[in-house]
A = this chain, B = another copy of it.
Amino acid sequence: MVRTRSSRPLRVALLGCGVVGSQVARLMLTQADDLAARVGAPVELAGVAVRRPDRARETVPPELVTTDAAGLVASGDIDVVVELIGGIEPARTLIDSAFAHGASVVTANKALLAQDGPARYAEAERHGADLYFEAAVAGAIPLLRPLRESLAGDRVNRVLGIVNGTTNFILDRMESTGAGYGEALAEASALGYAEADPTADVEGFDAAAKAAILAGIAFHSRVSLDEVHREGITEITASDIASARAMGRTVKLLAICERSQDGRSVTARVHPAMIPLSHPLASVREAYNAVFVEADSAGQLMFYGPGAGGAPTASAVLGDLVAACRNKLNGGRGPGESAYARLPVRPMGEVVTRYHISLDVMDKPGVLAQCATVFADHGVSIDTVRQSGKDGEAELVVVTHRAPDAALSATVEALRGLDTVHGVASIMYVEGE
């Protein structure tokens, strides 16, 4: 028998019983003694709200299952609401109702937080409740708590990571098998790594929501979803991957949040980028996630682990649940919104980065000089050039030094205008060097 400090059970309402929710319910029921010992009081599953009661009954006792989520949240004796429905509505209304009824909230809802986080924080604050959401970013990896709490005395300058498992799986398959995008996506779907409609993942919406959340926490400043530059992976070709490989690089979909050099503004972006094969992120395989955090005092930190999946995400949810329950019991509060820094978010054009550009050019003397002049005219310095000819046509591959994105795109536009340039085969960011 585990001794606990209090015998009043903490009552938890679970909203949603899908891939993650069913694991949360299972763990709450099977590890009840451990949870009680860690919280200091029994943690009781008060009810599970679902759309289709039949499926939930496989994992939870039938008497706990209800289709009335609003009624469950409003029942008046709920200490913590675990929201795993996802999407904007009815999740938002249910979360606000939870706060209004004095409950704290644990959620994995990155879409809602990225779009409407500040208002949810404000509601939590107004009712003296907690809002925890470790599971919303990078699945099982403890990332938000370290950023919000462990690094609370440091100054974060950069967060760079792989935060979407589906796209990492697809790019990893393209890299390891030479497959094209379509084929790799089909494999990801067959193995359950991609949803029936993969848009949110492959177009970078999911990663962009996570980037907005990460930037907000890292820089103590609000970054809204529409301030995150976003590009997906649907236009990456097998030839892009091969070209990266030929230069000792691989392609990853990265979320990058940066503080400017003067510290007075920030940027947030999601796009595919070439990184060196020697970079630790290059060896992040399959659906794993990994995030680098660079801070003034701490230096460079890395966090790595499963970025999705029922049990791993449930682990993050339960960690938050223990924290929310402990606060209920001991009268403490988890961290609220910290957005005091009020830093402006600069647009993509002002991001300083590097390009890898493949051009189809005429195979004749002077073409390289002509192209090089275009780069110079736009203030873009060239790092390396590789030229290879074939039947009167030549391929020119240029990797630039760091320059503002606006200058880089203007360079590409000007190159397109040259008679000797038949086409721009690909443009890709280069990071991590």
- Measured CB to CB, the residues of A under 8 A from B are 2-3, 23, 27, 31, 34-35, 37-38, 134, 140-142, 145-146, 149-155, 220, 280, 283, 295-306, 309, 311-312, 314-319, 321-323, 326-327, 330-333, 335, 338, 340-341
Contact = CB atoms under 8 A, between A and B. Distances in A.
Contact of A316 (B31, B141, B298): B298
Contacts of A151: 142, 315, 319
A316 B309 CA distance: 30
Given A37-B220, A327-B332, A153 B322 contact: yes
A302 B299 contact: no
A306 B298 contact: yes
Nearest to A301: B305
Given A23-B297, A340-B3, A152 B306 contact: no
Contact of A155 (B31, B295, B333): B31
Nearest to A334: B332
Contact of A154 (B141, B146, B283, B315): B315
A432 to B, nearest CB: 15
Contact of A220 (B38, B153, B297, B309): B38
A142 B142 contact: yes
30 contacts: A3-B340, A31-B155, A34-B220, A37-B340, A38-B152, A38-B153, A140-B298, A141-B301, A142-B142, A142-B145, A142-B146, A145-B150, A149-B322, A149-B323, A151-B315, A151-B319, A153-B315, A153-B321, A154-B318, A280-B283, A295-B315, A296-B311, A297-B311, A297-B318, A298-B315, A299-B309, A301-B303, A302-B303, A326-B335, A332-B333
Contacts of A146: 142, 145-146, 150
Q: Is the interface of A mostly helix, strand, loop or mixed?
A: mixed
The 10 closest A-B pairs by CB, nearest first: A332-B332, A153-B318, A142-B150, A142-B146, A152-B322, A297-B315, A140-B298, A301-B305, A298-B315, A302-B304
Contacts of A134: 150
Given A297-B312, A299-B305, A299-B312, 18 more contacts: A23-B297, A27-B153, A37-B220, A140-B298, A142-B145, A142-B146, A142-B150, A146-B146, A146-B150, A152-B322, A153-B317, A153-B319, A154-B315, A297-B314, A298-B311, A298-B312, A298-B316, A300-B305
Nearest to A141: B301
A134 to B, nearest CB: 6
Nearest to A39: B152
A86 to B, nearest CB: 19
A70 B319 CA distance: 38
A27 B145 CA distance: 21
A164 to B, nearest CB: 17
A131 to B, nearest CB: 15
